[in-house]
Structure 1
Amino acid sequence: MKRLSIINHGPGIGSAWRLLLVAGISMLILFTSCSRNNSADETTVTLGYNSFLSDSFTDAPPPIEVINAELARVHPEIALQYQVMPQDMLDSLIIWLSSQDQTVDIYGMDVPWVTQFGRAGWAAPLNQYIPELEQYIYPAGLEIFAYDDDYLAIPFWGGVAGLYYRTDLLAEYGFAPPESVDEMIEIITAIRADQPSLAGLLWPGEREESLNMFFATLLYAFGGSYTTDQGGYAFDSQAGHQAVEFMRTSIAEGWSPRGLTSWNRLESRQRFVAGEAIFSWDNHDIITWLDDPEQSAVAGSWGFMPFPANPGGRSVAVTGGFGFAMNPYSSNPEAATRVLEVIAGPTVQKGFALAWGPVQHAVGLYEDPEVQEYNPNVQLLEPVLAHAINRPPSRNYAELSDIMLQELHSALTGSRAVEDALTNMNRRAAALEAR
């Protein structure tokens, strides 16, 4: 079996019986697909996504094969046509959906597109078609694809960020995991007084998307939110100022390394993996190999939790990833709904977890022994997933992200005062949405 690792993607060590089983399933699926396509009574549903649906990063079958096999079992009257789309699908989808095209019945939606597609009416409200959806998918997973209380997509793969911490160091100095930002600072100060070579908190400060996500984490931790009650942006709120001042102070006080403003996520995580830090804000994907002594110096000595919040604040886990949405102009909405029910079900969600690894938001998925075998420590994800939120809402998230990065990085590097940077961020973001 091959376990997922972002460092080592070499060949796995799957047993012969598993490989034979996978080969057998693949042949059966191929035979089933060919025979089903010859039936005149079938309804064809077209699913548009990039080529990754045909890939598996372990010895488990690729997701498209799992979807086809489960659909053949549950709804043999429906044939699924997989349309491979370019890696950057957004442009094609905008052209099709704005012209009410029926090329695809189901398509992959990225988390940052939710506001744009929701406002334009380019995704069918799935809670109206599948009222029992929350029985299969945790509400937090559905809410990251929600617009005006409508669920626009079924999540199937993504990422979520939280706080890694050194269990051995906290135990040695008599601390429990922090329940607030202030407690985290207290722990950092106490341990670094005795071990000053340790970094207190690692986070990626380079001008890349991770910086926006860390700012959002802190914004909520200090009691803020993306928007005001009137719907305008609230980046320049008191909590926004506290978030940026925390980042600046963490560097000035030595809680975080001074070179951090030029680090990306990989450069940040390498230092935690090497045992050089007490805490690290990072994505979920290292949990599957942090206990591997060949890759990690902190094996057996770490934990993962939602980022703590101060009183009045909210612990959040800023997420990303893809879900499957239904084209509101589909000529086969009933059949497309049946396909989406299959995708939301435990068999297909498990198939994604085995072939691609986490994150999925399926109820009870990480209690499955086989999922745990393929993804060690995956059970640590569920407490973090309960705090999942989307990135800031925008009709054009790519431009909003760039605006935020420009202003945040200028504040961190001192080229612009915090107040000026946040005022500019809010003004430019509002102008972007008004266009």
Structure 2
Amino acid sequence: MYAFLRVNGVAVEPHHPPIRPEPPWTRRRVVTAAATALGGLAATPALTACGGDESGRSVAGGGGSRRELTFACAAFTGGAAGMQSFADRYNATQTRYRVTVRNLPPPSSSTECHQQLTQLLAREDGTVDVFAQDVVWIAELAAAGWVHPLDSDVSAALRRSFFPGLVEACTYRDRLVALPWYVDAGGLYYRTDLMRALGRKPPTDWYELADLAAEMEHRRVPMGYLWQAKQAEILLCDLVEFIASNRGHIIDPSGAVRVDSPACVEAVQFMRDLVYRYKVSPSEVFSWDEEPSRRPFTAGRVGMMRHWSYVYGVSQNPDQSKVVGKVDVAPLPSFPGGTSSSCLGGYQLGVAAGSRNKEGAMDFLHWLAGTEAQLAFALDFGNAPSRASVYGEKKLAEGQPAMVKLKEAFGNGVPRPVTPHYSRVSLALQSAVSRALVHGDVRATLRSARRDLEAIV
């Protein structure tokens, strides 16, 4: 649901002033950012020895005082002692700063996490320096004026090291307002044993998928293809993938609402047809989100399934899966003339506009987005790196093979509509698309949805 701030106990929508201009560069900021972008996870002795007159909290340690930074982050599980143990890797690399993690609710409690983060950022009192945000919150937080723009702090070369779809999702009104951290995206899971038995390969076309799913269902398994269409955020994720793979847009780059375009109508009609025309997906998908759709697949009752990256690990766990060693993942199909498209998920990094120590915040931000830190985060926490080069690391292939298999899906990632009103856009689309899938009359329903979205954005 759409999150509101509370002022004197009264719920109010956050204001949306323009993004604030960034402060002028100092010579030391230039040197620090350049050294970090060129490959240093650990600061060089010359840099760590630098003094400074910047404002910020200080803490004793390391032979002198270190300025204290606060990192507000969802409570990810993993590592020896959670996110603080991960931040301590940074603390051990230099003597200028020390990071303390402020744990927010876990990603599974997204609404509560969003509410707490917006309340912290709205104070603008230096409580938070660096923060992690769900990819769909980026435009809202930027429009509220709560983030420090990163254009001058992030080189073009560094931007190119990330998956393009993530950089797009981190951009608002042509300004880079977040830095990619980790990524998730939808992929096509399939039974390798069934593919071999039928002499088929993973489908690259949606209509080919419907044909193959029918063949699997007829000869081998009760259900040919599963996906998620519960009236919830997951429905928007699946919707984005179908529409983008047909070269369509819900909201196009100019900001115009296009949800009732021919490409979108065809995509939503195909979603409905998977259940009622091709009969390869059960009607239960209209009430299923991630886990209800995953369980039949790992129980061995499904031929193919659209899902997130975590499912590969579950499918190879004998305590949770009856198809161990019989599962692989491929990019999602597309419509004729389109390209495979995967909805982007994950949390991305930002610097708070209210930080009293933006130089230190940028140093930590670059470290978090660096190659070694991303590899360690992937191995300890199971979150996929946003830098393409990390997928060539031998340690990643050994410790998280599913991530390597999904690299192409991450590269095909597309963001959900980028708008500061995303929460309301999502709710309106969930209602309209759910109605179209269950009751039909897709064209008229999407035409009505366009009018609703235009009133919002």
Secondary structure (helix, strand or coil) at the match of 1:179 reads: coil
Q: Aligned partner of 2:384: which letter?
A: V
**Is the Cα–Cα contact under 8 Å of residues 305 and 384 in structure 1 kept in the other structure?**
yes
Structure 1: distance between partners of 2:160 and 2:90:
19
Choose which of 81, 84, 92 in structure 2 pairs with 1:64: 84
1:263 maps onto 2:282 in alignment: no
Structure 2 gaps, min length 5: 1-57, 107-111
Query: Which piece of structure 1 moves more, 84-93 or 347-356?
Result: 84-93
1:76 matches 2:95: yes
1:289 is aligned to 2:314: yes
Q: Which of 327, 335, 338 is residue 313 of structure 1 equivalent to?
A: 338
Q: TM-score, normalised by structure 1?
A: 0.82
Given the alignment, which residue of 273, 277, 299 partners 1:249?
273
* Cα shift readout 1:82-129 (whole Å, capped 9, x = no counterpart): 334466343354455456443212112211112212333432232420
Query: What is the SS of the residue equivalent to 2:180?
Result: strand
Letter in 2 for 1:90: H
Is 1:181 the counterpart of 2:206? The answer is yes
Q: Does 1:425 align with 2:449?
A: yes
Percent sequence identity over aligned pairs: 25
C-alpha distance in 1 between matches for 2:129 and 2:59:
22
Residues 353-411 of structure 1: CA distance to partner in whole angstroms, max 9, x if unpaired?
12220222133334434434443433212111101122222323222222111111111
413, 422, 433: which is aligned to 1:388? 413
Runs (4 or more) in structure 1 with deviation over 6 Å come to none
How much is the aligned-residue C-alpha RMSD, in angstroms?
Answer: 2.6
| Structure 2: distance between partners of 1:61 and 1:157 | 20
Write the deviation string for residues 54-84 of structure 1: whole angstroms up to 9, x where unpaired.
Answer: x52x5x55332232233431x3111223334
Instruction: Rate the CA distance shift 1:130–1:348 in 2: closer, same or farther, 3 A.
Output: same
Task: Look up the match of 1:142.
Answer: 167
In the alignment, residue 351 of structure 1 is paired with which amino acid?
A
1:351 aligns with 2:371: no
2:236 maps to which of 212, 233, 238: 212
Q: Which amino acid aligns with 2:159?
A: E
What does the per-residue CA deviation read over 1:208-230, in whole Å, with 9 as the maximum and x for residues that have no partner?
A: 22111111111112221122354
Q: Secondary structure at 1:250's aligned position in 2?
A: helix
Structure 1 gaps, min length 5 = 1-33
Is the CA contact (8 Å cut-off) linking 1:117 and 1:123 kept in structure 2? yes
Once the two structures are superposed, what CA deviation does each residue of 1:4-44 show, in whole Å capped at 9, x if it has no partner? xxxxxxxxxxxxxxxxxxxxxxxxxxxxxx98448654333
- 2:349 is paired with a residue of what secondary structure? strand
Question: Given the alignment of the two structures, is residue 118 of structure 1 paired with residue 137 of structure 2, yes or no?
Answer: no
Aligned residue in 2 for 1:7: none
Classify the secondary structure of the residue corresponding to 1:42.
strand
| Residue 255 of structure 2 corresponds to residue 236 of structure 1 | no
Inter-partner Cα distance in structure 1 for 2:100 and 2:449: 44
What is the TM-score with the length of structure 2 in the denominator?
Answer: 0.78
Counterpart residue number, 2:51:
none
Q: For the Cα contact (< 8 Å) 1:188–1:278, is it kept in 2?
A: yes
Measured in 1, the distance between the counterparts of 2:71 and 2:383 equals: 22
Aligned residue identity for 1:124: H
